[in-house]
Structure 1
Amino acid sequence: MGKRKVFTKTDLSVPQVKHRLDTAGNVVVLPEAIPPTNTTVKFGRNTSTSRGFDFARWYNASIDPITYACQRQIERFIAGQEGSVAISTVVGYCRNGLRSFLDYCVLRAAAFGRNLALTDVNRDLIDGYLSHLAWLGVATTNQKTIYTQTKPVLLALTRRGLFPLVASGDAATFPRNPFPNSNRKGKGETALTKRERQAFTAALRKAIRPIWTDDIPVTGDLIVFALLVVALHTGRNATPLIEMGRDCLRPHPKDNTVFLVLWKRRGYNTSKVALRSESDTERLLESTPSVRTNVESLIHRVIALTEPLDSEAPDDLKGRVWLYRSRSRTSVGQVTALSGQLVDKAIRRLVAEYGLNDSDGKPLRINISRLRKTFANRIFELTDGDLATTAAALGNTPLVADQNYLAPDEEARRNWQFMGEVLVQELLSLTIGSTYKDTPLGRCADPVGGQYAPKREGATCMNFMNCLRCKHYAVTADDLYKLFSFYFRVLAERSRMDKRRWAREYAHIPRLIDNYIVAEGLRRGSFKTAAVEAARERARSQPHPFWSVDLINSLEVFA
């Protein structure tokens, strides 16, 4: 007996674009379908503050087929018809991507003096859209965000055949890389400085103290402070922390240790962090020594305090850890869960109450991303620059950790700038060459008791990597050969180590030599151009023996 054919059932409730094909095979939306009865898309509860999006303003605006197709596509995303797309991501598609895209389509229709159809969505329209985003005057990184929240909607429409997709070539519907080098233009979060971290953790320690009091009311602010302690100690991302489940603590094979398990939406995977189960007086992690609260005990305390609220929580919030009773006038007394917006508000209140300021005297900017960067840099520091351990602590690959979390902070940059300015002053000193002793890098006023000298009897300073920062260092025209030999030796290190590490630890040295020593010497007439170029070429082809790779295997011995 032959195998029976199984017919799949079609769910008639799934949003569809009502259309027909014209004689050329192009999709034409049925006029009677536009506008739909309901132009508002409902998102339901999600991590953003948006609960719906109305497409009404783009109907009867000469772009009806495009508006209608986009609305139906958003409805399909919400219905789960295009894979598992988070509702907060769909919110971004609407509020950022489609809002800008449909606004541009209206302008384009007005400029052409005709209605736009789905067949008008092509490379020419996309190029015009990109030019429109640039014309808005927003930062390149913002333009990229808007575009990347538009493209997935349009791609989904092409997959369903609503307009043709040209995949490659000059006429490709979507340009391959419309924002080259945009990653270099964005300013990521920076880690807190040591002073900022100490002030913040001291304030947090005081703010979290009431949570151990019996019969304490569970307020939104109090559990935000608890969440910040967890973020500070574990370096986890915001969304996994905010959506932490009540079963987040799991057994660990090692005694006095538990796993904190969080769900990562983006990777559809879990993230595990090992926590020690010790007394409250014992330090949990050295990454944040100012906060002594045991994180495992704190999480257990929050779970116990919010246990009575879990049964009252809405179905989509049941099982969450960070529950509290709302004090909002519209929902007073109702059980709800933390959101990113509430976390930001509570942080601002904490900063104001404890007078937390940055080095410029402005209110200290705190968010979970900065705490993650702070955690990463502290781990890197405590492990003496062990990138693999730092990456493992973050749950990233070494490449991602190095590129995105361990960049030098503003304090380091200001320090090098200051040292460069000191170097210029030394160059202009009238005593150069009279009291300075020869070194492999130039001249030093005090090689025994200098700024970076060991300051031990009979010990001469060999810390040549810090010469450019030292107030006792100077260079004359006769020293240019040695200086450029050192210059090219530093450049040679780029091929011997990770490029990000080189950028972090060595890249400032050639810049200081070029921009401070040589440039200032030429400007003041201390150096002649011919002498500089001659020393540079000699050092390039025949470096000073001291800075030969064969002689000195690694510059780290002088660090």
Structure 2
Amino acid sequence: MAKKKIFVKTDISIPQVKLTHRKDNTSLVFAEELPPLVQVVIFSSNTTKYRKFDFSPWYQVGIDEITYACQIQISRFLAGQDIEVETITVTQYCRSGLRPFLNYLTLRAVALERALTLADFNRGMIDGFLAHLADFGTSINTQKTTYNAAKTVLATLGRRGVVGISDSGDDATFPRNPFPNSNRFVKGETSLSKNERTKFANAIKTAVMPIWDDNSALNGHLLACAFLVVALHTGRNATPLLEMSRDCLRNHPKDNSVFLVLWKRRGQNTSKVVLRADSNQEGILESTPTLTTNIERLIRRIISLTSPLLIDAPDHVRGRVWIYSSNAHQSKGKVLGLTPQVIDRAFKLIAEEYDLIDDNGDPLRVNLSRLRKTFGNRIFELSNGDIAATAAALGNSPKVADEHYLKPDENTKKNWKFLGEVLVQELLSNTIGATYKETPMGKCRDITNGQYAPKNAGATCMSFLNCLRCMHYAITSDDLYKLFSFYYRIYEERSRMDKRRWGREYAHIPRLIDDYIVAEGLKRGVFKAAAVNEARERARIAPHPFWSVDLITTLEIVT
């Protein structure tokens, strides 16, 4: 049965930019007199502190038509028209995109000594805006963010026919790539080191302790500290945590466990974290991260302490966990929802109060992005490098987790340093490649004193059935033919021995080759799919002489 399509309802009462052409087609005339009576756009509930955007500074300064078109477009976004976008994103369109763009147009109108209209929208205006952003001396990525926010609004106006847009040629309204190689300038957040993580965890644990005191008042800072504890131990993104509903704790099939269920706006899906209710039992890595009872108890404590506030809470925060009564002079007694600004302030206060410093001796800088990456690297460490478990815990694909969250640990750095030293030594002695010796299974770093070698004077290791689990074993694309010849020889042994014995002693070997060596090699780009298929077919038709039946009648001599 086909799934019923659900149509999203939108408010069609939002006015359009009604334009009528004069007979001579020289200009456009608005059906509504400018400037309009309403010049403020109201934002609905969102996780920022911004609830409105005022367009009045850009009216009666020579850009009325463009300002009005942008204002109406923002109203349409908020009403769910044209494109589906969250309110918090619309606030960024206004503050990060339209504000600098309209400021630029104001300067342009003064320079041209005339009013700008929608008919003036062209490539020259966009190029001037890009030059205007560059003059401020901000980073390339800040300029790119500002430009993309403004472009989204302007491009939507173009699709609706409010402004003319050219899509191709040298006069294309929007340049194809105004910020080439901008990704090279991106410096993402790094995870906390083990020492930094320990310091911060101890500090935040101490800071949140008053929440268990019945006589302690739940203010914004204490609530933010509790929020940081949950963020540190769950690794969730800011928005799902801030919008955590009061029914976020759900029953789990296992005893003494619950689900922490969060809503992810971008993916339109839920994210589940398992909270384990037995604090004396070590967490077990599953498809979702498992945490100790302290986090569950902390969330339930917050829900209990904030329950009396629900009566006076505004509608947009009434269903949330993170609410508090404000002590600020202007909003004293009002029930507010936790915001990123309050959380950032809590980070700074904790770092100052507990004198937290990083590994370089500088004041420790912490934010939610660093906590999420710290969580991912911690899961990767506890799972002994299991990228799949780490990706599941983060709620990402393995590729995203590997490229954007994980960093090399100390063991990895030591291994790379050792590899570099060996490579330099081989280059200087003109013996590159001599570290590994050729074997019927591939390559071995130590064929006389290896992990499964007999370690007798002059004796060479022949324990080829153990190569796949030996730390000295290595394989390149040139060795695939040998590997698959061995692979097919293992399957041939089924007809020569008891099936139960084959299943007990040999069945794991083909699985290791398929699921570990070949699959990992393809994923990391070490092997090419064409080379794997060619070597597999060649080994099936004409196996390597060492693994032919004529040479070795039974595999027992290589065990």
- TM-score scaled by length of structure 2: 0.70
Write out aligned runs for 1:144-543 (5 A). 144-278=144-278, 280-284=279-283, 294-408=294-408, 440=434, 496=521, 498=523
Cα deviation digits, residues 23-44 of structure 1 (max 9, x gap): 4768724286211123232335
Cα deviation digits, residues 47-106 of structure 1 (max 9, x gap): 223233222222232222111111121222233334443222121111110111112223
TM-aligned CA deviation for residue 440 of structure 1: 4.1
Q: Which residue of the partner structure matches residue 115 of structure 1? A: 115
Say yes or no: does 1:101 pair with 2:81: no
Range 170-179 or range 310-319, more displaced: 170-179
TM-aligned CA deviation for residue 321 of structure 1: 0.4
Is residue 53–residue 94 contact of structure 1 (8 Å, CA) maintained in 2?
A: yes
Question: Within 2, Cα distance between the matches of 1:363 and 1:214?
Answer: 33
Cα 1:168–1:239 change in 2 (3 A) is same
TM-aligned CA deviation for residue 414 of structure 1: 9.4
Q: Which amino acid aligns with 1:181?
A: N
Cα deviation digits, residues 383-441 of structure 1 (max 9, x gap): 222211111111111111111101448x8999899999999x999xxxx99xxx99946
SS at match of 1:150: helix
Is residue 283–residue 293 contact of structure 1 (8 Å, CA) maintained in 2?
A: no
Question: Within 2, Cα distance between the matches of 1:382 and 1:320?
Answer: 32
Say yes or no: does 1:130 pair with 2:130: yes
Q: Which residue of the partner structure matches residue 79 of structure 1? A: 79
Is residue 285–residue 389 contact of structure 2 (8 Å, CA) maintained in 1?
A: no
Question: Within 1, Cα distance between the matches of 2:195 and 2:213?
Answer: 30
Cα 1:293–1:277 change in 2 (3 A) is closer
Is residue 264–residue 270 contact of structure 1 (8 Å, CA) maintained in 2?
A: yes
Question: Within 2, Cα distance between the matches of 1:386 and 1:380?
Answer: 6
Q: Which amino acid aligns with 2:71?
A: Q
Q: Which residue of the partner structure matches residue 506 of structure 1? A: none
Question: Within 1, Cα distance between the matches of 2:64 and 2:266?
Answer: 33
Question: Within 2, Cα distance between the matches of 1:234 and 1:117?
Answer: 51
Is residue 26–residue 163 contact of structure 1 (8 Å, CA) maintained in 2?
A: no
Structure 1: stretches of 5+ with no match in the other structure: 1-8, 466-492, 503-549, 551-559
Is residue 242–residue 322 contact of structure 2 (8 Å, CA) maintained in 1?
A: yes
Q: Which residue of the partner structure matches residue 59 of structure 1? A: 59
Q: Which residue of the partner structure matches residue 4 of structure 1? A: none
Cα deviation digits, residues 519-558 of structure 1 (max 9, x gap): xxxxxxxxxxxxxxxxxxxxxxxxxxxxxxx9xxxxxxxx
Is residue 259–residue 275 contact of structure 2 (8 Å, CA) maintained in 1?
A: yes
Is residue 92–residue 149 contact of structure 1 (8 Å, CA) maintained in 2?
A: yes
TM-aligned CA deviation for residue 165 of structure 1: 2.9
Q: Which residue of the partner structure matches residue 548 of structure 2? A: none
Q: Which residue of the partner structure matches residue 22 of structure 2? A: 22
TM-aligned CA deviation for residue 225 of structure 1: 1.9
SS at match of 2:272: strand
Cα 1:132–1:304 change in 2 (3 A) is same
Question: Within 2, Cα distance between the matches of 1:80 and 1:10?
Answer: 5
Range 395-404 or range 70-79, more displaced: 70-79
Q: Which amino acid aligns with 1:372?
A: R
Q: Which residue of the partner structure matches residue 554 of structure 2? A: none
SS at match of 2:191: coil
Cα deviation digits, residues 261-290 of structure 1 (max 9, x gap): 111122222212222122x45555789x9x
Range 334-343 or range 208-217, more displaced: 208-217
Is residue 310–residue 320 contact of structure 1 (8 Å, CA) maintained in 2?
A: no
Write out aligned runs for 1:27-66 (5 A). 28-30=28-30, 33-66=33-66
Question: Within 1, Cα distance between the matches of 2:19 and 2:232?
Answer: 53
Question: Within 1, Cα distance between the matches of 2:396 and 2:258?
Answer: 21
Question: Within 2, Cα distance between the matches of 1:97 and 1:105?
Answer: 13
- TM-score scaled by length of structure 1: 0.70
Range 324-333 or range 249-258, more displaced: 249-258
Question: Within 2, Cα distance between the matches of 1:208 and 1:321?
Answer: 16
Question: Within 1, Cα distance between the matches of 2:381 and 2:226?
Answer: 25
Is residue 317–residue 336 contact of structure 2 (8 Å, CA) maintained in 1?
A: yes
Is residue 65–residue 117 contact of structure 1 (8 Å, CA) maintained in 2?
A: yes
Question: Within 1, Cα distance between the matches of 2:415 and 2:117?
Answer: 57
Is residue 47–residue 243 contact of structure 2 (8 Å, CA) maintained in 1?
A: no
SS at match of 1:259: strand
Q: Which amino acid aligns with 1:20?
A: T
SS at match of 1:324: strand
Structure 2: stretches of 5+ with no match in the other structure: 1-8, 437-444, 458-469, 474-517, 528-543, 545-559
Cα 1:27–1:153 change in 2 (3 A) is farther
SS at match of 1:61: coil
Cα deviation digits, residues 243-265 of structure 1 (max 9, x gap): 10001112222333222111112
Cα 1:501–1:295 change in 2 (3 A) is farther
Range 197-206 or range 14-23, more displaced: 14-23
Identity among equivalent pairs (%) = 51
SS at match of 2:332: coil
Question: Within 2, Cα distance between the matches of 1:500 and 1:324?
Answer: 51
Question: Within 2, Cα distance between the matches of 1:284 and 1:224?
Answer: 25
Q: Which amino acid aligns with 2:217?
A: P
TM-aligned CA deviation for residue 302 of structure 1: 1.3
Question: Within 2, Cα distance between the matches of 1:208 and 1:282?
Answer: 23
TM-aligned CA deviation for residue 215 of structure 1: 4.2
SS at match of 1:33: coil
Cα 1:413–1:398 change in 2 (3 A) is closer
Is residue 275–residue 292 contact of structure 2 (8 Å, CA) maintained in 1?
A: no
Q: Which amino acid aligns with 2:40?
A: T
Cα 1:87–1:342 change in 2 (3 A) is same
The count of residues paired between Structure 1 and Structure 2 equals 450
Question: Within 1, Cα distance between the matches of 2:328 and 2:169?
Answer: 55
Cα 1:407–1:10 change in 2 (3 A) is closer
